[in-house]
Amino acid sequence: MNALGLSMIVKMGCICARESIDINGIKYIVKERLGEGGFSTVDLIEHKGTKRKFALKRILCHSVEDQKVAMDEISYYKKLKHPNIIELVDSTFKGSADIVVNATSEAYLVLPYYRRGTLHDYLTLRSFNRNYLDVKEIIRLFMEICQAVKYLHDFTPEAIAHRDLKVGNVCLTEDMTPVLMDMGSCATAKVQVCGAQDAQKLQDLAAERCSMTYRAPELFHVESYCVIDQRTDIWSLGCVLFALCYFKSPYDFVYERGDSVNLAVISGTITFPEDTPFNEDVHDLILFMLKVNPSERPYVDSVIEKTRQLKNKIEPVV
C-alpha cells in the first residue's frame, strides 16, 4: 500500500490501459491505483526515463473554492522543509486555470512513494500477533514525529496546526524514519471564533478534515466564543503515542465497540489494556497530552522535554 492513503478507502488493482501523463514537461506512466476518496485519488506512477516511482495525488476541483483549497495544500507543501515532513516533487493543474463555477479542473501533486507504506500499515501488521514495539523504538519514532510538529508550531510568521495527525498520515522510509504527510488539513494554528456561525463552520470543517478517533474535544463541539490553537495537535499526538503502544488510537477501540466516540472524547475516557507491557511512565506521558480542556494541555516543547526525560530514564546518560 502506498503511504498516501490520506483517509481513503484503499483499493488495489492494475490500470489495464497504462495512462501516460505529462506534468510540467516530465512524462510518467500510471502503474496502478493506490487509493481513492470523495474528491481525490492516489496513483502509483513511474518516471518514463528513470523508472523511479512516485505517488500522484489528483484533486478534483468543481469550483473556485475547491481550487483554492487545492492551491493552499500545494502552498503548504512548498513552504514546509523538514526531514520528517513529506516533500512536494512537482505540481500542476489540468483544466482551466481561471476556473469558473461548475467548471472542472484537477490538481496534480507528485509526491515521494514510500514502499513501506504508513505507520498505520506497519502497526496493523504487528497487531495480528500482538507484537508490541520496544519502548525505545516507540520513543524514537514519537520523538521524530514531535520534531515535525514542533517545526509546524514554530513556523513563522504564523504557527501552523496540522489538524489531522494520525498514524495513517505518517509514512515510513526504508530506514524506518517517520515522515508526516497530508498537508491538505493544515491551517493557521490560532483561530478566533466569534459567534455561532464561526463555530459551526469550524466544527463542520473539522468533521470533514480531522479523523474522528484522533480529533481533539474542542473540535467536536466548537464554542461560539473561543480561541482554537495548535494544542489540537497535542491531543492527536497523545492518540498517536497510544497507537504506537497498542496499535490503534484509544478511540478506535471505542468506535469498534460501537460506542460513541464523541462522548468518549468529551469525557476524556482512556482505558489502558490490563496486560500491558508498558509501565506507568509511558501511560503518564500519554495522559499528559490527553487533557480535555485545551488550556490544560501542554505545548509541543513540553511534550518533547517530557519524552526526553522518559528516554533518559530508560536509557540513562552515562
**Residues 17-59: tens digit of each pLDDT:** 578 999 999 999 999 998 877 678 999 999 998 999 999 999 9
- Which of 48, 82, 112 represents a domain boundary (last residue)? 112
Quote the DSSP letter at residue 45.
E
Q: Which residue among 43, 121, 164, 252 is the active-site one?
A: 164
Is the pLDDT at 5 greater than 50? The verdict is no
Q: Who contacts 231 (Cβ-Cβ below 8 Å, separation ≥6)?
A: 216, 294, 297, 298, 299
> Which range marks the domain in which residue 145 is found?
119-314
Condensed to tens digits (0 to 9), the pLDDT of residues 122-155 reads 999 999 999 999 999 999 999 999 999 999 999 9
Indicate if 123 and 103 belong to the same structural domain. Answer: no
**Catalytic-residue membership of 204:** no
Is the pLDDT at 65 greater than 90? The verdict is no
Condensed to tens digits (0 to 9), the pLDDT of residues 214-227 reads 999 999 999 999 99
Let me know if residue 3 belongs to a domain. Answer: no
Let me know if residue 216 belongs to a domain. Answer: yes
Supply the pLDDT for residue 38. 67
Confidence of residue 2 (pLDDT cuts 50, 70, 90): very low
- In Å, what is the CA distance from 32 to each residue of 36, 54, 95? 12, 11, 23
Indicate if 136 and 266 belong to the same structural domain. Answer: yes
Indicate if 226 and 307 belong to the same structural domain. Answer: yes
- Which of 60, 77, 112 represents a domain boundary (last residue)? 112
Cβ count within 10 A of residue 247: 22
Indicate if 66 and 105 belong to the same structural domain. Answer: yes
Whole-prediction pTM: 0.90
